Amino acid sequence: METRATCPYCGVGCGVLIEHDGGRIHSVRGDPEHPANFGRLCTKGSTLHLTARPETRLLYPELRSVRGEPRRRVGWDEAIGSAAERFADVIARHGPDAVAFYISGQLLTEDYYVFNKAMKGLIGSNNVDTNSRLCMSSAVAAYKQTLGADAPPCAYEDFAHADCLLIAGANPAYAHPVAFRRIEDAKKARPGMKIIVVDPRRTDTASAADLHLAVLPGTDIWLYDAMLHVLLAEDLVDHAFVAAHTTGFDALREHVRTVTPEAAAQVCGVPAADIVTAARWWGGSPAAMSLWCQGLNQSAHGTHNGTALIALSLATGKIGRPGCGPFSLTGQPNAMGGREVGGLANLLPAHRDLGNPEHRAEVARLWVVDSVPEKPGLTAVELFRAAAEGKVKAIWIACTNPAQSLPELEVVREALQRCEFVVLQEAYRSTETAVFADLMLPAATWGEKEGTVTNSERRITHVNRALPPPGEARPDWRIVCDFARALGPLIGRPEAQCMFGYERVEAIFAEHAVSTAGRDLDITGLDYALLDAAGPQQWPFPAGADAADAAGRARLYADGRFATADGRARFVVPVHATTVERVDARYPLHLNSGRLRDQWHGMSRTGKVARLYSHVDEARIELHADDLAENGVASGDLVKVASRRGEIVLRAVASGEVRRGQAFVAMHWGRNVLNSGGVNVLTAGDFDPYSKQPELKHAAIRIDRIDLP
């Protein structure tokens, strides 16, 4: 039999059909009816069935009472009871801000919703943040600063209508492969379409472009400002659109007056003529859209990277029409769903803002609680720094692996050591974070749980359960609700029984949908039955909307009215800054990190599939051949790679993709693969002031050859 679900990897959100016998998954195939992929899957998605291996799973709760001792198997009642007692004890001694949840863009929307409600509505703290902070929070801040709402205004079908596609800080050929196939199809169908790629590396995506701008790390803003300079100089700005639908253009025009292509070329390290060409292609194309991801987001000025790019769409009126608009790709399968339910330290459900008293009151009414705390919670890097300083004393981690994926890993490890109580809710037995867990709770995973996800183009899919979870594993939402009901009476909140009394997961979705009434993402017209009958739907989908009529949903702002108070989009004058950490004589190389084609995140899942190593089979650092020679290293030698924070050992290989002075290491390899740890031993925790997203894309490093005896 076949069960409909989605791929649990990237934000493309491909539909999959799981072929199974009710006890074992036999194969997967792309869902031909899913609008994200129309039957296609990439190498990762098409091998999903090979990841369903019970021997790698955490099958029952494990608890230890004393640090350093092995965990012992316990029943669910003891596990949940112990967690509730330990959290209640910390809250009683130190207050609610001494506990925290750190969750994941791989959870389903319903899981996210109850985690958020448990921390903000029950415990009384806003300390709930997510690994999505590392992924797209700069794009969220950029959308809100310019368009007024966290709403990607485009759809994948726009690729087929674009005359010019500017791909910035993204490598969809590897990271969003099925979306990239759609871009390739669009180019084949319309060979005149211009593809511009902005990326320090010559990735597979860059190789397929008509123009590759290999900017130096951290210099993107100069490039987009210089493009705007050219658009103004060559009268390619849509002045009527700017006058009717935007504010702040005069200040930005003044700001870019001196940012000539020649000036930007000096900073960005690309030819001035190429900047002019890019601007002319953009401005001269009837339809142009941008596509961006971590290369812009994972920066200490990631928000302004985004606003500078969005300004190109606004200045030329290329938004709200087919083939137009600024389109942020999400890295994870449900980062969008997490944003929708407000599962971050500074947000509230349905895109409400924590800093808005009316929004807090609305959410308190929805949850039937007296109030929602006003003080912003700790964001990812802040949270682990606070734990390392002893300010956060109990942490609950779900479906993510911070001991590999966060920057400044030594701080993260110190934090997890210092916490009095660490809970890890996880599907897999062995992750870097599991070493630190006092309580491990077995969670259901892909193919074993029901709920919804939202992909990069705002499309909500109902995912179904093919099999029961193995052993004693349970769905994430149920674990959270059991914990909340156990904790409530211990902290004087007996109403938790009612607040978390959901009997079915769909009841959580229904409450989430109610929370969106009248908001930009209104989905009051959606329920599981409609999603099953009519297929995945883009939001907004208010009550009464017709699933057969996608007009007004595929792309937003078609009427020129934006989600700001006055309905006008805003131009933002960006700060000109490069990377926080500078290269110098001791650390002369820029380290960049990113994805491989066939691996996903920390490899808990893809690392179990032998064939996914056929593309790249071991951890390595890629450098320009001249940099290898200058350091006395031959391609294939082992090298010690050091930053100001730590060092790891890798095999060095010469690569034609990397410019002189730069290096690349894939993000996936961790302590399980390399004895010395992964790339985040090297990275720093500097973050963007608006989004709090850390600068994972850069660290200053040096390499030293290791002479084996």
Interface residues toward ligand SF4, by CB under 6 A: 7, 9-10, 12-14, 37, 41-42, 44-45, 176-178
In the bound state with ligand SF4, the residue whose beta carbon lies nearer, of 482 and 598, is: 598
Residue 67's Cβ-count burial label (10 Å; 0-12, 13-18, 19+) is exposed
Strand (E) or helix (H) holding 541? none
User: Helix %, strand %, coil % for the chain, to 5?
Assistant: 35, 20, 45
CB of 15 to ligand SF4, least distance (A): 9
CB of 57 to ligand SF4, least distance (A): 21
Q: State how far the Cα of 507 lies from the Cα of 528, in Å rounded to an integer.
A: 10
The torsion angles phi and psi of 446, rounded to 5 degrees, stand at -50, 135
CB of 180 to ligand SF4, least distance (A): 8
CB of 293 to ligand SF4, least distance (A): 12
In the bound state with ligand SF4, the residue whose beta carbon lies nearer, of 41 and 259, is: 41
In the bound state with ligand SF4, the residue whose beta carbon lies nearer, of 14 and 653, is: 14
In the bound state with ligand SF4, the residue whose beta carbon lies nearer, of 34 and 229, is: 34
| DSSP letter string, 20-61 | E-SS-EEEEEE-TT-TTTTT---TTGGGGGGG--GGGB--S-
In the bound state with ligand SF4, the residue whose beta carbon lies nearer, of 14 and 293, is: 14
User: What is the DSSP code (8-state) at residue 607?
Assistant: G
Q: Which residues contact 93 (CB under 8 A, 6 or more apart)?
A: none
User: Burial code of 109-131, b = ≥16 C-beta within 10 A, e = fewer?
Assistant: bbbbbbbbbbbbbbbbbbbbbbb
In the bound state with ligand SF4, the residue whose beta carbon lies nearer, of 173 and 296, is: 173
Q: State how far the Cα of 214 lies from the Cα of 200, in Å rounded to an integer.
A: 4
Of 593, 588, 619, 702, nearest to 200 (Cα)?
593
In the bound state with ligand SF4, the residue whose beta carbon lies nearer, of 7 and 499, is: 7
Q: State how far the Cα of 617 lies from the Cα of 622, in Å rounded to an integer.
A: 14
CB of 354 within 8 A of CB of 126?
Answer: yes
CB of 40 to ligand SF4, least distance (A): 7
Decide: helix, strand or coil at residue 72.
strand
Distance of CA 346 to the CA centre of its chain: 16
Of 198, 153, 145, nearest to 304 (Cα)?
145
CB of 614 to ligand SF4, least distance (A): 16
Question: What's the residue count for the chain?
Answer: 709
Instruction: Say how many C-beta atoms besides its own lie within 10 A of residue 426's C-beta.
Output: 27
CB of 172 to ligand SF4, least distance (A): 9
Which H, E and C letters describe 331-397, residue by residue? Answer: CCCCHHHHHHCCCCCCEECCCEECCCHHHHHHHHHHHCCCCCCCCCCCCHHHHHHHHHCCCCCEEEE
Residue of closest CB approach to ligand SF4: 45
In the bound state with ligand SF4, the residue whose beta carbon lies nearer, of 178 and 193, is: 178
Q: How far is CA 187 from CA 166, 192, 205, 320, in A?
A: 13, 8, 13, 21
Q: State how far the Cα of 88 lies from the Cα of 451, in Å rounded to an integer.
A: 29
The torsion angles phi and psi of 499, rounded to 5 degrees, stand at -60, -35
CB of 29 to ligand SF4, least distance (A): 11
| DSSP letter string, 460-471 | EEEE---SPPST
CB of 16 to ligand SF4, least distance (A): 7
**Residue 34 identity:** H
In the bound state with ligand SF4, the residue whose beta carbon lies nearer, of 9 and 113, is: 9
**Residue 524 identity:** T
Strand (E) or helix (H) holding 518? none
Decide: helix, strand or coil at residue 165.
strand
CB of 452 to ligand SF4, least distance (A): 15
CB of 309 within 8 A of CB of 291?
Answer: no
Of 413, 462, 168, nearest to 312 (Cα)?
168
CB of 224 to ligand SF4, least distance (A): 27
Of 354, 430, 462, 486, nearest to 607 (Cα)?
430
CB of 453 to ligand SF4, least distance (A): 10
In the bound state with ligand SF4, the residue whose beta carbon lies nearer, of 302 and 331, is: 331
Query: Are β-strands 662-666 and 589-594 bridged in parallel, bridged antiparallel, or unpaired?
Result: parallel
Q: Among positive and negative, which fits the CA dihedral 621, 213, 596, 685?
A: positive
Q: State how far the Cα of 116 lies from the Cα of 11, in Å rounded to an integer.
A: 21
CB of 193 to ligand SF4, least distance (A): 21
CB of 541 to ligand SF4, least distance (A): 22
CB of 178 to ligand SF4, least distance (A): 4
CB of 206 to ligand SF4, least distance (A): 19
CB of 296 to ligand SF4, least distance (A): 20
Instruction: Say how many C-beta atoms besides its own lie within 10 A of residue 491's C-beta.
Output: 17
In the bound state with ligand SF4, the residue whose beta carbon lies nearer, of 39 and 489, is: 39
In the bound state with ligand SF4, the residue whose beta carbon lies nearer, of 45 and 694, is: 45
Instruction: Say how many C-beta atoms besides its own lie within 10 A of residue 141's C-beta.
Output: 24
Q: State how far the Cα of 86 lies from the Cα of 68, in Å rounded to an integer.
A: 18
In the bound state with ligand SF4, the residue whose beta carbon lies nearer, of 39 and 588, is: 39
Longest dimension (CA), the chain: 74
In the bound state with ligand SF4, the residue whose beta carbon lies nearer, of 13 and 685, is: 13
